[in-house]
Amino acid sequence: MIPRRLALLLLAALPLCGQDAAIGLKVHGLVPMSDLRDLTNGQLGLGVSVFVEVPVSEGIRLRPTLGAQQIPKGDTLGLAGTKTRVTSVDLMLDALWFPGETPEHGPYLIGSIGGQQWRVSATGSSPSTLSATRLGLAGGIGYQFSPHLGAEMKGFWSPIEKNLTATGLTLGASWRF
């Protein structure tokens, strides 16, 4: 049900292409912190997203984003013989602010809010599976090197369940077509 809604939202954003919007791709590495680090023993993750970037003013852009992240199986701290993998699919809305009002080149700030579908799967001596859809927040900085290529670093937060919160850092690159 969630993937169908996400696809419909992206299709609804296609008419924005006539308003100087740009479609793009973002790839990033993920460094888990706190609860996620304990679950996967600090395994690094990868993520990919597609987005539509819509200019609102000279220095502000909105970017609806559909993405997925994966942290491969890692030894769960405190549970010998248990390996845990974490994945998420998310629909976020990024707001980008370019202080110099030059979105083709220069630094920018990012704030993100949206929904994330988390899946935590453990195998071994304590097998379990948990799925939850939760609010996701992120914020960070970026730099646009050219009209097409940018780099970003963001911190993220999402409460998966009462005693499990997803936090970490992402570092990646974006490409606007």
pLDDT digits (tens, 9 = 90+) for 4-31: 665 665 556 555 545 688 999 999 999 9
Task: Report, as ranges of residue numbers, the positions in the chain whose pLDDT lies below 70.
Answer: 1-19, 77-78
pLDDT of residue 1: 52
Q: Which amino acid is at 68?
A: A
pLDDT of residue 76: 74
* DSSP-assigned letters across all residues of 24-70: EEEEEEEEEEHHHHHHHTT--EEEEEEEEEEESSSSEEEEEEEEEEE
pLDDT of residue 159: 94
pLDDT of residue 10: 57
Q: Who contacts 163 (Cβ-Cβ below 8 Å, separation ≥6)? A: 35
pLDDT of residue 7: 60
Distances (CA, A) of 75 to 122, 139, 162, 170: 9, 29, 22, 21
Q: What is the DSSP letter of 145?
A: -
pTM of the entire predicted model: 0.83
pLDDT of residue 126: 75
pLDDT of residue 125: 79
Structure tokens at 118: 């988390």
